[in-house]
Amino acid sequence: MRCATLLRAYSSVSLPPPSFAGAAFAAEAHEPSAEPWLSSLLGRCSGFAHVAQAHGFMVSRGLDQDNRLLGRFVDGCAVLGFRAYAYCVFSQKEDPDIYLCNTIIRALAQTDLARVAIGLFRRVQLQCLRPDTYSFPYVLKAATHLSEIGVGREIHGQIVRIGHCGDVHVATALIQMYSVCGEIGDARHLFDEMPRRDVIAWNALVAGHARQGDMERASALFERMPERNVISWTTVVAGYVQSGSPAKAIEVFQRMQLEENVQPDEIALLAALSACARMGALQTGEWIHEYIVRRRLRKIVPLMNALIDMYAKSGNISKAIEVFEGMTQRSVISWTTVIAGMALHGLGFEAVEMFQRMEKARVPPNDVTFVAILSACSHLGLVALGRHYFDRMRCRYQIRPRIEHYGCMVDLLGRAGFLREARELVEDIPFEANGAIWGSLLAAARSHSDAGLGEVAMRKLVKLEPHNSGNYSLMSDIYASQGRWCDVGRMRKLMRDHGLKKKAPGGSSVEVGGAVHEFTAGDSSHPHLQSILKTLLDINAHLKMVDFVVEEASYF
């Protein structure tokens, strides 16, 4: 009813102001080529008032009766973000054709109105309009967005009945739907049956395998592709990052440019920066930074946030802060990332100052921001300040603490020796504490040789994490510090009974000449192992000499 009232009001609107459309718009309004001027008009819209003026002009002259023109208007509304209004306008049309229906379904498909798009598709069939090869990909996007496998299968059945299975766009949309919904076998079956495949179809299946974490099959498909584009490369890079293989991600990212000279887009750069952050691949990250500057992409806030994260995690916190300070626009993620980076590098006081700057800038912190600032307080042992921020999060910002916030507080209190308060906080958590929380309490008990608290935590951990060898080692250390060797033996027997060994060996990585080298304790497979060991021995010898000189100087 409100929409009809709006439309009646708009029908009386006269020409838009000259600054918006001008006389040329009115003169050309009834020409056969009306679509170009409507596109031009919508291109000048900067807000809802302009959209309403354009709509009023169309209604007042009966131009909204043209399905193609109205479809162009509906599409323009959706592009500007006024999807609900676009649907409202569409719903007033009594005899929409399939073009107009397809336009509104596409506009709503990948939004919170995706279910409405599916309903519209069903109405199309009830109104005896025949869906075409555009209708099915659009409605399948809605089913994909909602992960509605049942709806997707229903639409697949209709496609088979109508005979559109051979259309490459329809088949590709089906592959994407099955992949996103976790039915990668069905997606592969459709792909194998396609008489003709374009790069989009290949990309859809590669992405499906990558989404399932099966990078072996994703990579094999990628290597078989007769043609690749930037999306193909980005999919593989992002897939390796998500599957925990950042070194492979960087390798593919470098191949992308060196072998095929493919210019990475924003998504590829984000994926590569994430890999650099995980690996500490500073040289590759610096190259990406130079590329961003060279291509004038510094105004893309997510890219700058990823740069801050990469520099912080790769050991160059000063560069991370420099990137942050150079940003003309910042999001809550920008502030949170730099605060977390400072906390990671032990710059707790600087992190607190940055948080205060954030509040002065009137940027509301989110739950992740408070994890970062509580972590900073924990590293510095600022118990009173940590309590203050924990309360501030709940009282001022109405953020309900998550398990990570309680974990930070338990760690903060435990490190500082407030063991009773830490235990009471764990017992007061309004949900079941996980292994990380009880593990923090066990670590605090070890730091302060509190066997009683350690045993309380250990009883919980045996149930929550029976195969975590680190917990048994911590409890064993507590007993050993008090000379309770029988209890040490009991812990070792428990480990043997559970078939546990000591924690996995530690690992590290270093980037040299753009190549990332990974090392694991006890692993002797590196081809340059002997020269590395010789260099380490030389360094140790020099350190001993320095220590001796320093001791002599301090002695005298």
Q: What are the structural domains, with CATH classification, of the chain? A: 228-329 (1.25.40)
Mean pLDDT lowest for which of 54-68, 177-191, 208-222, 265-279? Answer: 54-68
pLDDT tens, 85-111?
Answer: 888 888 888 788 888 888 889 988 988
- Per-residue pLDDT band for 269 (boundaries 50, 70, 90) equals very high
pLDDT exceeding 90 applies to what percent of the chain?
43
Report pLDDT for 501: 62
Report pLDDT for 334: 96
Report pLDDT for 550: 34
pLDDT tens, 16-63?
Answer: 332 333 333 333 444 445 556 666 666 666 677 777 777 777 777 777
- For residue 323, give Cα distances in angstroms to 272, 346, 491: 18, 19, 49
Average pLDDT over residues 255-275: 90
Burial-class residue 513 by CB neighbours within 10 Å (0-12, 13-18, 19+): exposed
Mean pLDDT lowest for which of 84-93, 382-391, 394-403, 470-479? Answer: 84-93
Q: State how far the Cα of 191 lies from the Cα of 168, in Å rounded to an integer.
A: 10
CB of 104 within 8 A of CB of 112? no
DSSP state letters, 270-309: HHHHHHHHHHT-HHHHHHHHHHHHHTT-TT-HHHHHHHHH
Average pLDDT over residues 529-539: 75
Write down the mean pLDDT value for the chain. 83
Report pLDDT for 327: 94
**Token pair of 237, please?**
């890079």
Report pLDDT for 496: 82
Greatest mean pLDDT among 155-164, 363-372, 483-492, 532-541: 363-372
> Which three-class secondary structure state does DSSP give residue 364?
coil
The answer, yes or no, to whether residue 141 has pLDDT greater than 80, is yes
Report pLDDT for 52: 78
Q: State how far the Cα of 272 lies from the Cα of 282, in Å rounded to an integer.
A: 12
The answer, yes or no, to whether residue 179 has pLDDT greater than 70, is yes
- Per-residue pLDDT band for 146 (boundaries 50, 70, 90) equals very high
The answer, yes or no, to whether residue 2 has pLDDT greater than 60, is no
Report pLDDT for 40: 65
CB of 435 within 8 A of CB of 461? yes
Average pLDDT over residues 452-456: 89
- Per-residue pLDDT band for 217 (boundaries 50, 70, 90) equals very high
pLDDT tens, 355-366?
Answer: 999 999 999 999
Report pLDDT for 19: 33
509 or 15: which carries more pLDDT confidence?
Answer: 509
The answer, yes or no, to whether residue 191 has pLDDT greater than 50, is yes
Report pLDDT for 511: 55
- Per-residue pLDDT band for 387 (boundaries 50, 70, 90) equals very high
- Give the residue carrying structure tokens 């008090």: 482
Average pLDDT over residues 320-346: 95
Average pLDDT over residues 509-523: 60
Report pLDDT for 30: 44
**Token pair of 319, please?**
């560069």
109 or 501: which carries more pLDDT confidence?
Answer: 109
The answer, yes or no, to whether residue 398 has pLDDT greater than 90, is yes
Mean pLDDT lowest for which of 159-163, 178-182, 421-425, 526-530? Answer: 526-530
- Per-residue pLDDT band for 434 (boundaries 50, 70, 90) equals confident
Helices and strands (H, E) in the chain, number of each type: 31, 2
Q: What is the pTM of this model?
A: 0.73
The answer, yes or no, to whether residue 507 has pLDDT greater than 60, is no
Report pLDDT for 342: 94
Helical H runs in 167-300?
168-180, 184-193, 199-211, 215-224, 230-242, 246-258, 266-279, 282-294
Report pLDDT for 177: 94
Mean pLDDT lowest for which of 29-33, 469-473, 543-547? Answer: 29-33
**How far, in whole angstroms, is CA 533 from its chain's centroid?**
39
Q: State how far the Cα of 206 lies from the Cα of 212, in Å rounded to an integer.
A: 10
Report pLDDT for 364: 94
CB of 402 within 8 A of CB of 429? no
The answer, yes or no, to whether residue 513 has pLDDT greater than 60, is no
